[in-house]
A and B are shown apart, each in its own frame.
Chain A
């Protein structure tokens, strides 16, 4: 191999090394940082659960107490327990941005599920809050 050929091979090697380096570093440089939005959604889920449950429906009766009342079919503020879901839905719709998908879930003998996050790829759930021995509430959120 003469001198010219050796130099050409060297040049090609340098270009190949640069391309390989770019291929490995570009994904890291272009990767969007999602940590902030993740922690925000997680905090939102917890705050939403607390806000909905502590809302005063009537005469110092909170949403949490009304959910418990509805478990034994004895609502104090609402005409019937079917309206509980509408009330919670309106409350959540008023406070969350339209690009957030939510699911408010009350697990018990009469479960309530408002919203649907089954289509979410990256879901953030609040801590599960027990209201009684067999009744607990959880909120899940994700971005559309």
Chain B
């Protein structure tokens, strides 16, 4: 084989190896970008859940108010038939934790002998889920009592 031919073969091998390395690098960058986008999406959903957790108890839709005065408690009569919408794939539940009562979902028939109020529910079966919760005061207008509860937001990835 002449010297020129062997140099051409060498160049072809170098270009071939370089192409493989380049393709692998491209795939790596693509994977990294995909994972980054998924990570950013997850962070946004988590931040949205935290924002809901902080702001929902103070929303006029569920907050107790008396003669226009807003109190730091959730009015259980307001959340009894409340259905929120447009909050993505998540479940928002308010449960009474103290004193303990029967673990039953509340409706107009069993209220107040129940412990759970689901105010938003859009479940995604696949993927992981992230659960965050915060203590809330639950106000019962019929007995004018305040009990301890928990607002739980489950976010589905």
Contacts and interface: CB of A to CB of B under 8 A. Distances in A.
Interface string B111-138: 0000000000000000000001111110
Given A47-B136, A90-B98, A94-B148, 13 more contacts: A43-B54, A43-B134, A44-B135, A50-B72, A50-B137, A51-B136, A55-B146, A56-B144, A56-B146, A94-B97, A94-B100, A95-B97, A95-B98
Contacts, number: 61
Consensus secondary structure, chain B interface? strand
A56 B141 CA distance: 12
Contact of A95 (B73, B145, B150): B150
Nearest to A97: B133
Contacts of A90: 98
Interface residues of B, number: 25
Interface of A: 33, 36, 39-40, 43-44, 47-48, 50-52, 54-56, 60, 62, 90-91, 94-97
Interface string B42-76: 01001100100110010000000000000011000
A52 B98 CA distance: 10
B65 to A, nearest CB: 14
Contacts of B149: 51, 95
